[in-house]
Amino acid sequence: MARRTSSKSGSKTTPSRRRSRSTRQTLAQQLGKAIALLLVLGLVLLLNRYCGLESEMIGPGAKLVAVDGDSLRASNGENYRIFAIDAPELHQTCTNAKGKEWDCGRAAKKELAKLIKGGEVSCIEQATDKYGRNVAQCRAKGVPDIGETMVRKGYAIDLGRKTGYAYAGVESEARAAGRGIWAGTFQRPGAWRQDNPRNN
């Protein structure tokens, strides 16, 4: 009668196998950490590019001019649209409390030029509009937020839902005080642009 023999060697884990498995686990952990680090670095770069973590200085060394009441142009040719506001268009007129027309568009441009006159202008880019301009939140010497100041003085309105009603409270204040365009009547800039489309 034949005897059955059994070997228990297959169920044992040799020291060499344990070391091999441990090495693979260590390598996998190191690889995982390296991938996580690369993902974090990539996220930081994306945030820096699209969320404007760094503010780009565009003055006072740069020749900076106001294009209209809500746009700036730097000496390098870059155009900046002030975030969350809409000012009367350059050739737009408004009506004062006495019913007389006045050049509110040119007045808005003049006010913006006055705000940046002191220099030290910096902007944090938020997006790019359909005209290729950098939509940015900007500040200048003595002016912590150019957009807010323009709305507070009544030379621009809050852009509304598109930008989360960023300056709605300031707009209400300007309206109640009858500042700038709120001293009389005016057509909202967006409606004026529809009635007076660009030729180009």
Buried b (16+ CB within 10 A) or exposed e, 75-99: eeebebbbbbbbbbbeebbbbeeee
The string of pLDDT tens digits covering residues 70-105 is 999 988 888 999 999 999 999 999 999 999 999 999
Give the start-end residues of each E strand in the chain: 56-57, 65-68, 71-73, 79-82, 85-86, 94-95, 101-102, 122-128, 134-139, 157-158
The string of pLDDT tens digits covering residues 144-157 is 999 999 999 999 99
Q: Which residue has the higher pLDDT, 196 or 53?
A: 196
The string of pLDDT tens digits covering residues 1-15 is 444 444 444 445 555
Rounded Cα–Cα distance for residues 188 and 92 (Å): 10
Global pTM? Answer: 0.70
pLDDT given for residue 9 in this prediction: 46
- Residue 9 buriedness (CB in 10 A; 0-12 / 13-18 / 19+): exposed
Distance of CA 94 to the CA centre of its chain: 29
The string of pLDDT tens digits covering residues 11-49 is 455 555 555 666 677 766 777 766 766 675 555 444 444
Distance of CA 38 to the CA centre of its chain: 25
Sign of CA dihedral 188, 154, 168, 66: positive
For the chain, which residues make up each domain, given as ranges? 20-54, 56-193
Fold of 56-193: OB fold (Dihydrolipoamide Acetyltransferase, E2P) (2.40.50)
